[in-house]
Structure 1
């Protein structure tokens, strides 16, 4: 696991161009439509992108550079990844087909869902998500679980 991806914005752009076959993925009974997801929010001057792919890849990218890649090496992170994708599959009707992800805005959380039929997206305010007033709140909370699992795995790997 690396906490210093060389070019996090380029990794995000590569993901947006990716196809499920690039990861060796095909629809499954658990995930018949969804093969990946990205939750994005602005923290300070950085846009933060949490990425979960059905083959286990889990990463956190910062628009200012850096982040965490290779989180899927840890079972706690992989378990949270599977949980997030399962919830997004259940919330599928809440996401709208789009050509590109919705822009990241201050005070909002954006979701991009990678499906076998193309990109879908949704956004809501962080306040509504935190207060569980948005239909997307389960995905937001599990995304936060993944961020925590990544942080703990990174600290453990660093010997803290």
Structure 2
């Protein structure tokens, strides 16, 4: 089993892990309940969720405009509440601001499937609804897809979440 397999574990079949429900909550909570409104810094987008597959597990990095950041997985592993750390909050805000560039590329959706094999799903949370933008994972891996920057930004959020987790567990 690789490092991510050890970290994320195997998918449980008896009950959905907490990350599955938290991801769905992030995708379905109305923006007015979050208290976010359009402004100069965040004119269209208030959050972004990036889903990709790691073996049998799907990882989701969630970033919100207020710096809230979490890692949800389809296994039992996850990290929530990173916004209490400046580096995580900053990375999350940058991730959301970068998502503004990709806002119109996605289509409005009301269903939120996990990505198929070989795909990365970007769920861009806008004041008008959730937009899904699906990208070929190999193009991101090669750095040839314009969305590479959005995926790299999600990885920056993930790295900062990992660093605080390691520090807290040291």
| Same fold (TM > 0.5) | yes
Which one of the candidate residues 102, 107, 123 is aligned to 1:91? 102
Q: What is the alpha-carbon distance in structure 2 between the residues aligned to residue 9 and residue 93 of structure 1?
A: 26
1:100 aligns with 2:111: yes
Consecutive unaligned residues of structure 2, counting only runs of 5 or more, are 1-16
Corresponding position: 1:79 with 2:90: yes
Aligned to 1:34: 45
Residue in 2 that maps onto 1:111: 122
Native 8 Å contact 2:59 2:72 kept in 1 = yes
Aligned partner of 1:126 in structure 2 is 137
Distance across 2 between alignment mates of 1:22 and 1:134: 34
Shift of 1:39: 0.1
TM-score (norm 1): 0.89
Match of residue 3 from structure 1: none
Once the 2 structures are TM-superposed, how far is the Cα of residue 102 of structure 1 from its aligned partner? 5.0
Q: Does 1:158 align with 2:164?
A: no
Is 1:19 the counterpart of 2:33? The answer is: no
Unaligned runs of 5+ in 1: 1-5
Report the Cα distance in structure 2 between the residues aligned to 1:64 and 1:102, rounded to whole angstroms.
16
Q: Whole-Å Cα distance in 2 between the matches of residues 74 and 130 of structure 1?
A: 29
> How many positions carry a matched residue from both structures?
154
Indicate conservation of the 8 Å contact 2:66/2:93, yes or no.
no
Question: 2:76: which partner in 1?
Answer: 65
Aligned to 2:150: 139
Once the two structures are superposed, residues 106-145 of structure 1 have per-residue CA deviations (whole angstroms, 9 ceiling, x without a partner) of 2221100111000101111222012222221110111111
Q: Distance in 2 between matches of 1:100 and 1:87?
A: 23
2-structure distance, mates of 1:97, 1:79? 27
Cα pair 1:102 1:122 within 8 Å, conserved: no
